[in-house]
Amino acid sequence: MVQATPFLLVLFLALGAHGVSVKKCNLTGRWVNDLGSNMTITTVNANGVFAGSYHTAVTATSNEIKVSPLQGAQQRGPNQKGQPTFGFTVHWTFSDSITVFTGQCFVDDDGKEILKTMWLLRSRVENIKSDWKATRVGINVFTRLQSQE
Ligand code: BTN
């Protein structure tokens, strides 16, 4: 019994640590996606509402790219278990388009946060006959940009 005590203690600590150390995914901060676009989410309020800015690396237009504002919300419900779903809209300041993103914030096996998203990019077309070609769809994966302190 005396010899078993340290073993049980280590086992208890290992299991306990595993149970309590589940890292949560936090949307606040700077992110880069697979296209090289940069996104900054400044604050997420108590209701899950957030704002930030988006610097796209690519455009469907011939316009000069400008940093554009984004607004969104994440789920705060009890079922999120630290990996919340979210959605946000980017209102492009250099084109007539709007993009909506929806996704989930995951923590991978290495403890790294990753945002898996899908998006719809709505471009303005001249008339209703062209509506069929106005919406693009795609996926983007974002990882956190490490701060350069
Ligand atoms: C436009 O071209 O009218 C605005 C820029 C659109 C950029 C798109 S949004 C979806 C995809 N993901 C990015 O990071 N950039 C492109």
Tens-binned pLDDT, residue by residue, of the chain (149 aa)? 456 555 444 444 444 444 455 789 999 999 999 999 999 999 899 999 999 999 999 999 999 999 999 999 999 977 778 999 999 999 999 999 999 999 999 999 999 999 999 999 999 999 999 999 999 999 999 999 987 65
Closest alpha carbon to 51 in 43, 59, 60: 43
d(CA 82, CA 115): 13
The confidence score (pLDDT) of residue 13 equals 45
Tell me if 16 is assigned to some domain. Answer: no
Tell me if 57 is assigned to some domain. Answer: yes
The confidence score (pLDDT) of residue 80 equals 77
Domains in the chain: how many in total? 1
d(CA 57, CA 15): 44
Closest alpha carbon to 71 in 40, 38, 25: 40
Domain that holds residue 81: 29-144
The confidence score (pLDDT) of residue 149 equals 57
d(CA 48, CA 41): 12
What spacing in Å lies between the alpha carbon of 143 and ligand 1's midpoint?
17
d(CA 61, CA 147): 31
Q: Does any ligand 1 atom lie closer than 6 A to the CB of residue 59?
A: yes
What spacing in Å lies between the alpha carbon of 120 and ligand 1's midpoint?
9
Q: Does any ligand 1 atom lie closer than 6 A to the CB of residue 134?
A: no
pTM: 0.86
Q: Does any ligand 1 atom lie closer than 6 A to the CB of residue 97?
A: yes
Q: Does any ligand 1 atom lie closer than 6 A to the CB of residue 38?
A: no
Q: Does any ligand 1 atom lie closer than 6 A to the CB of residue 40?
A: no
What spacing in Å lies between the alpha carbon of 114 and ligand 1's midpoint?
19
Tell me if 50 is assigned to some domain. Answer: yes
Tell me if 17 is assigned to some domain. Answer: no
CATH number for 42: 2.40.128.30
What spacing in Å lies between the alpha carbon of 142 and ligand 1's midpoint?
14
Tell me if 134 is assigned to some domain. Answer: yes
